[in-house]
Amino acid sequence: MPAHALDVIRDEHQALAAMLRTLMLMLAQARREKRLPDFDVLRAMLFYIDEFPERLHHAKESALLFPRLRERAPEIGPVLDRLDAEHAHGERAIRELEHALLAFEVMGTPRREAFEAAAERYVLSYLQHMAAEETDVLPVAQRVLDAADRAELDAAFAANRDPLTGHEPGQDYRELFQLILNRLPPPLGLGPRH
């Protein structure tokens, strides 16, 4: 049975929110313990965000879901415009955060505060973005999309296969997800609690 696109979107939001919150918890715990965070897992987490939500999830929302909603529910056009603009800014935002992480790793503690502040802004912005989609967009989609729309969207989003939503990672990503899962502390990962 094919996955329902709106359920896939919600599942991906939930997985990403858990990862973003875990990232912030890791940073806070490392600071409390007066130690550096695990840079390897932070890089892997940011790479995941770039590869899956930024390039796959957002692209399908902007290219497939939002145009249908503009046709069927033009009253939410301003919300979709704002979300599309955030999608367009997403790739630059993740690059800036990756750069801030690299600066912290290479330059040391003088760059810690800048990275942590950038991470906090990024996470807050992303969580607000997903909340807007969940409250302002998905209920409208549930109401206005017809059977043909749903079938096309279901097929497109079912192909996402995000490993953090329970799918087996492809061979290319297996090592990445093993690193993340084995090094992240619970509840998202299997790694030790610091």
pTM of the model: 0.87
DSSP state, residue 185: P
Phi (first) and psi of residue 3, to 5 degrees: -70, 150
Alpha-carbon distance 13 to 186, whole Å?
18
The burial of 144, by beta-carbon neighbours within 10 Å (0-12 exposed, 13-18 middle, 19 or more buried), is given as middle
For the segment 15-41, the average pLDDT, to the nearest whole number, is 91
pLDDT band at 178 (very low <50, low <70, confident <90, very high): confident
Alpha-carbon distance 114 to 80, whole Å?
31
133 compared with 2, residue with greater pLDDT: 133
| Whether pLDDT at 159 is above 70 | yes
| Whether pLDDT at 165 is above 60 | no
Tell me the one-letter amino acid at 161. Answer: R
Mean pLDDT across the chain: 87
Which of the given ranges, 6-10, 26-30, 48-52, 114-118, has the highest pLDDT on average?
Answer: 114-118
Q: Say which range, 45-54, 104-113, 124-133, has the weakest mean pLDDT.
A: 45-54
User: 124: which 2 tokens?
Assistant: 């807050």
Alpha-carbon distance 98 to 119, whole Å?
9
Query: In sequence order, what are the residues at sequence separation of 6 or more whose Cβ sits closer than 8 angstroms to the Cβ of residue 89?
Result: none
Tell me the one-letter amino acid at 134. Answer: E
pLDDT band at 1 (very low <50, low <70, confident <90, very high): very low
| Measured CA angle at 190 (ends 189, 194), to 5 deg | 90
